[in-house]
Structure 1
Amino acid sequence: MNLNIRIRNRDFVLHPSGAVYWPEQEILLIADVHLGKISHFRKHGSAVPANAIAGNFRKMDQLIKEFDPEHIVFLGDLFHSSLNMEWNMFEEWHSTLDNQVHLIAGNHDIISPLKYEKLGIKLFPEIEADGFLLSHHPQKTNDLFNLCGHIHPGYKMRGDGKQVLKLSCFFQGPNQLILPAFGDFTGNYFMEPEEEDRVFAITGKEVILVT
């Protein structure tokens, strides 16, 4: 189940996949997919099932079907490292789209920009839109609200019996919303919210406010 929130009088939809939809701008935001990472693990002997590779593409297809965005903006680390078989899958997937795709380059995005430009994908260091700053790394700014990735935020929910449930989350500070990593097998950095922060945890198929 999605969760609708308002930031600076703008509507945003938090999706259980970790993506964010911005209806007024018709923008779908996705952070830290890390395509190619599963193939990298398998190449080095990790017991990751081959069908897991297609999981990220299935999730993206579901989002596009649900929201039909004009723009898809990847907030960095679309690919984990250098080219492997998942680039061919990405090319094939991209060929099925009529959406405009943009990439804000992250620290893992080392594939040549020429490969993206050949597909018609525009690369940016960051994007400003309607009072918001879209970036890969979290940015501190007084005037713009920052939508970003990179951190792979997570949250530990603690039960009465010392149980700990580790969840991915959207982490909102006073001028910033950090998106969770979209890709599988990416890991989390567990956040410690302060009083003014809000944590939106992803629990299975829903997003819930936990602080």
Structure 2
Amino acid sequence: MDKIELKIADDCLQLLPQRAVYWPAHAALIVADIHFGKAAAFRAQGVPVPRGTTTQNLAALDDLIVAYDVQRIIFLGDFLHARASHASATLNALRRWRARNITMQLTLVRGNHDAHAGDPPADLDITVVDEPYELDSFSFCHHPHAHARGYVVAGHLHPVYRLTTAGDSVRLPCFVFGTASSVLPSFGAFTGGFAITPQQGERVFVATDDSVFEVPGSTTIFNSGL
């Protein structure tokens, strides 16, 4: 699969087709808005939605762990979707996954859904912090405009970009990188997306099933001094 490597804040980040970022310096996978248990929360309200999204999300994490020798995962908020996401089926799936990845260092930067859903159970052994989570030259956040010292890497918006051709269009998840902050696409299945319009100085990278490519015409000079 084709990824894109960016040099930001005197460091390197790799944008992956699987809608995640790999940070080689820390063997870290960075994912935003996984929303475990969202489908379960909908079903608890009587809305008939597909099952299996938690299994799908965990399988996607497993594939990336193997492909990139991941030693830690940083979740940029909205780990659990709602209080109903504490359903036994969802939590038991997470516990089985955790048992298979017992040495993995997990950090959750709380997002708005985490405030309502509550922190993950303690036996999942996830370090939970408020934004910004500062590490090296980066500030990991849920909200893109959080006050921070370093270059902000955030989620929350579930950004997608509409590509158009003559008589047709398609919406694709995208990464948005500006001079001082960035927004990652939603990693989770069944999370939807918000169509964005790039602002001046922002670069947009869309993710397909097997590649990441930059939308022509978007340009940014990154501030490596952050």
TM over 0.5: yes
Please list every run of at least 4 consecutive aligned residues from structure 1 whose deviation after the TM superposition is greater than 6 angstroms.
Answer: none
How many Å apart are 1:141 and its aligned residue? Answer: 4.9
Contact 1:31–1:77 (8 Å) recurs in 2: yes
Partner of 1:132: 138
Contact 1:141–1:175 (8 Å) recurs in 2: no
**Unpaired segments of 5 or more residues in structure 2?**
219-226
* Pair 52,124 (structure 1): closer, same or farther in 2 beyond 3 Å: closer
How many Å apart are 1:185 and its aligned residue? Answer: 1.4
Question: What is the CA RMSD across the aligned residues, in angstroms?
Answer: 1.7
Which whole-Å deviations, capped at 9, do the CAs of 1:113-149 have from their partners, x for residues lacking one? 3x54333211000210112100111125584210011
Partner of 1:187: 192
Task: Provide the rounded CA distance (Å) in 1 between the counterparts of 2:148 and 2:140.
Answer: 14
Task: Provide the rounded CA distance (Å) in 1 between the counterparts of 2:70 and 2:49.
Answer: 35
Contact 1:142–1:175 (8 Å) recurs in 2: no
The percent identity for this pair of structures is 32
Task: Provide the rounded CA distance (Å) in 2 between the counterparts of 1:122 and 1:203.
Answer: 31
Letter in 2 for 1:168: P
Contact 2:139–2:148 (8 Å) recurs in 1: no
Task: Provide the rounded CA distance (Å) in 2 between the counterparts of 1:96 and 1:27.
Answer: 17
Residue 100 (structure 2) pairs with residue 96 (structure 1): yes
Letter in 2 for 1:95: A
TM-score normalized with structure 1 length: 0.91
**Unpaired segments of 5 or more residues in structure 1?**
none
Partner of 2:22: 21
Partner of 2:223: none
